[in-house]
Amino acid sequence: MKRHDPQKDLICVKCVKIFPTLKTLQRHGIIKHGTRHKCEYDKCSMDFYNLPGLLRHQKTHVARFECYFCAKLFKTNQTRDMHLRIHTLERPFCCQTANCGYTSNQSGTLQNHEITHDRTRAKFRCDSCPNEFTAMGSLTRHNNRVHLKLKPFRCTFCSKEFSNRKVLEVHISGFHLRERPHKCGVCGAEFTKKCNLDSHLDSPHAVNRNVYECVSCEKTYLTRISLKEHKEARWWGWVQMWVCWVR
């Protein structure tokens, strides 16, 4: 067993703890008694022992990686690259189960799919329905969303509540900000969701597609859903205070 030499041991003047080397004493001083640098961003509780660590962390809050197709910004290069697969239709993750053929643009989605081939991996069973999950977190989210009907994510424009943050983001960008990043390359029609664009592409492109007209402002739309969204549109706050009330 290593013994301390009273002649060589170093003592912390603040807590009188003894250390065998100067390096361990310095590290102790920084961690236990040094000034911690707190992240300045709201809702972030991270703090760091040194300023370089804080500066590296704060870069994760800044969306500085831009999509080449739709100009959407991302906080990391990795998340931007994952998003790019939506535009390039790249699906590099393939299911290895024989005769399946399933592909995905995200590894996590593929992992969720592979569970369907091996139900023995599902360890967490829902008490309210037959669904089973491989992780406790997935079961908790399922219960909150499906059975408890919890909606913790609230829209700052209209106070509508959602069970999923992603659905809230789609609601704000599509309904309030009227962002439509998914554009048809044939007729120019724009959609808030990729699934709506896919449904649109499955239908034939007729010359007279713009047949749904608002009787109030004579604006035309490709689908009844788009016309309905126009009629129910409420542009809040700093965007535009205008409502078409025609039903």
Predicted pLDDT at 246: 41
Q: What is the 3-state secondary structure (H, E, C) of the chain?
A: CCCCCCCCCEECCCCCCEECCHHHHHHHHHHHHCCCEECCCCCCCCEECCHHHHHHHHHHHCCCEECCCCCCEECCHHHHHHHHHHHHCCCCEECCCCCCCCEECCHHHHHHHHHCCCHHHCCEECCCCCCEECCHHHHHHHHHHHHCCCCCEECCCCCCEECCHHHHHHHHHHHHCCCCCEECCCCCCEECCHHHHHHHHHCCCCCCCCCEECCCCCCEECCHHHHHHHHCCECCCCCCCCECCCC
For domain 65-147, is the CATH number 3.30.160.60? yes
Predicted pLDDT at 209: 52
CA 62 vs. chain centroid, Å, equals 15
- pTM (2 decimals)? 0.32
Which segments in the chain show pLDDT lower than 70?
1-9, 30-31, 34-36, 49-51, 118-122, 179, 202-211, 218, 222-223, 231-247
Predicted pLDDT at 39: 80
Q: Where are the domains of the chain?
A: 10-60, 65-147, 153-231
CATH classification number, 153-231, choose in 3.30.9.80, 3.30.160.60, 3.30.70.600, 3.40.1110.10: 3.30.160.60
Predicted pLDDT at 211: 61
**Is there a shared CATH topology between the 65-147 domain and the 153-231 domain?**
yes
